[in-house]
Structure 1
Amino acid sequence: MTATGTAAPLLLLDTVTKRYPGGRPALDGVSLAVTPGRTTGLVGESGSGKSTLARLALGLLAPDAGTVRFAGQDPYRLRGPSAAAVRARLQFVPQNPRGSLNPGLRAGSAVAFALAVHGTPRRQRAEAVAGLFRQVGLEPGLARRYPRELSGGQLQRVAIARALATGPELVVCDEPTSALDPGSQAQVLDLLAELRQRTGVGYLFISHDLAVVRQLADRVSVLRHGRVVEEGPVADLWSAPAHPYTRALLAAADDRAPG
């Protein structure tokens, strides 16, 4: 805990800049934090820099300027067992689980592979996969099916189970509901909220839709053209948005709301 009594950030991006080839900034001086057991939402339209930020948060890209820290460590300087330990604590749920799962592998094998990579003995994997499937609301028998035999909502639950396989402290969710129908979207959001309450995992939840982020996030950063134009508690941002771009996103979310 810090001197103010609030939890120290688990993930911290401090004035991060990342440029496209040619010099145009994808991110320009972005700062963002995720604290343990909480959800930070990141909202912006296509091309705003959200996916670049996700890759920086996951340690897949290094910033051109500024710093990224996970649990106080620089993920780009870690090697060997230290790097593997950080990867186990930091996981990812993709936008399109059908594209991220090997079509030639059964769903359970995809989760078992994540367990194997992080050292779970072979004799324990089948039981661990069944437990993870139950944890995300799937019948363990579905582990024997191939991705083509599962619905979009079921596939996203498999992707969440795979992310949970290492017992992470933080999961980066990159548009995890945008490819789902409204019913499946609501179920996945409820599942993520339940898992956060049960396990204490934190989320960086990335979306183009403020209405979706509102259901899960504690704080929200609004990203436009690579810059954070507004940031704050979700309730404050929703009730009194300060930036015209945020107001436009809220208006679009209200237009999409049922009724």
Structure 2
Amino acid sequence: MSISAVTGHKDTPLLNLTDVTKRYPGGRLALGGVSLGVGRGETVGLVGESGSGKSTLARLALGLLAPDTGSVRFAGHDPYRLRGLSARAVRGRLQFVPQNPGGSLNPGLRAGEAVAFPLGLHGVPRRDRPQAVAALFQRVGLDPGLARRYPRELSGGQLQRVAIARALAPGPELLVCDEPTSALDRTVQAQVLDLLVELQDTAGIGCLFISHDLAVVRHLADRVLVLRHGQVVEERPVADLWRAPRHPYTRALLAAAGDEPADLP
């Protein structure tokens, strides 16, 4: 059994995974006994190598998979078992920001139409959607005029901001971000990360941020969980983990990233 991560410290956790186990087809372990909580306005970073179970955990959190054992709860509900209007209402509070926004956006829809779609699902009248889309574009630092463009006409950074705007449309309380900056250059990556920090600070949106990039997680997270072979081997506040990592695997990840343990300002 892995170490159990403590619950989100900023408030009663919105997202709780308790002793979750999941196996791949064929029986290979994807996650074994993982527990974590994410509170309102808190960003929890989840790091680990490819194949460590990060994306499986994201799919469980979003209700796209059911755990083999253990439980997943968002705002007291099992997101996998929700149906109909209840599913729409609860899942509007829990949104996803993908690794590849270009692949997640319909190439036949303009960027503004992609953002307007969830507004319609969540009851915003058609006449009010253009103004709401413009406000969402401004919120993520995009010129509202870009709403008329197709995904192929936008840069990688613009596409990721569109994806964030689409995720913000239903008014979520928590975002699950799966490697959302890995395809961006460092400058654009920093801009997107600053946007996520601002959303956390100004809107109180919680975030489960999944990445293999320790520098990105250090910039963004309040707490960090280190995942190895489907188990949490270490969970610490971000400053403590970088100052004095406890597990040999964590120390190896930091050394491989050229980021030896050191005091943080």
**TM-score, normalised by the number of residues in structure 2:** 0.93
Alignment partner of 1:130 is 2:134 = yes
Q: Which amino acid aligns with 2:34?
A: V
How many residue pairs align between the two structures?
252
Match for residue 77 of structure 1?
Answer: 81
Match for residue 34 of structure 2?
Answer: 30
1:76 Cα offset (Å): 2.8
Q: 1:225-257 deviations in whole A, cap 9, x for unaligned?
A: 11111111111111111111111111122269x
Alignment partner of 1:240 is 2:265 = no
Instruction: Give the secondary structure class of the aligned counterpart of 1:123.
Output: helix
Q: Aligned runs of 1:213-228 on 2, under 5 Å? A: 213-228=217-232
1:6 Cα offset (Å): 5.7
Distance in 2, matches of 1:147 and 1:199, equals 27
Instruction: Return the match for 1:145 from 143, 149, 159.
Output: 149
Match for residue 117 of structure 1?
Answer: 121
| Contact 1:209–1:249 (Cα < 8 Å) also in 2 | no
Instruction: Return the match for 2:253 from 246, 249, 257.
Output: 249
| Contact 2:10–2:40 (Cα < 8 Å) also in 1 | no
| Contact 1:133–1:161 (Cα < 8 Å) also in 2 | yes
Q: Which amino acid aligns with 2:145?
A: G
Distance in 2, matches of 1:126 and 1:6, equals 35
| Greater than 4 Å deviation, 4+ residue runs | none
Alignment partner of 1:18 is 2:22 = yes
| Contact 2:20–2:34 (Cα < 8 Å) also in 1 | yes
Match for residue 57 of structure 1?
Answer: 61
Distance in 2, matches of 1:102 and 1:205, equals 24
Distance in 2, matches of 1:56 and 1:46, equals 17
| Contact 1:89–1:167 (Cα < 8 Å) also in 2 | yes
Distance in 1, matches of 2:87 and 2:190, equals 35
Match for residue 93 of structure 2?
Answer: 89
Match for residue 199 of structure 1?
Answer: 203
Same amino acid, percent of matched pairs? 79
Structure 2 gap ranges (5+): 1-8, 261-265
| Contact 2:45–2:223 (Cα < 8 Å) also in 1 | yes
Alignment partner of 1:47 is 2:51 = yes
Match for residue 185 of structure 1?
Answer: 189
Instruction: Give the secondary structure class of the aligned counterpart of 1:215.
Output: helix
1:123 Cα offset (Å): 0.6
Distance in 1, matches of 2:154 and 2:257, equals 29
Q: Which amino acid aligns with 1:200?
A: G
| Contact 1:211–1:250 (Cα < 8 Å) also in 2 | no
Q: Which amino acid aligns with 2:255?
A: A
| Contact 1:222–1:231 (Cα < 8 Å) also in 2 | yes
Q: 1:87-123 deviations in whole A, cap 9, x for unaligned?
A: 1000000001111111111111100111112221111
Q: Which amino acid aligns with 1:148?
A: R
Q: Which amino acid aligns with 1:114?
A: P
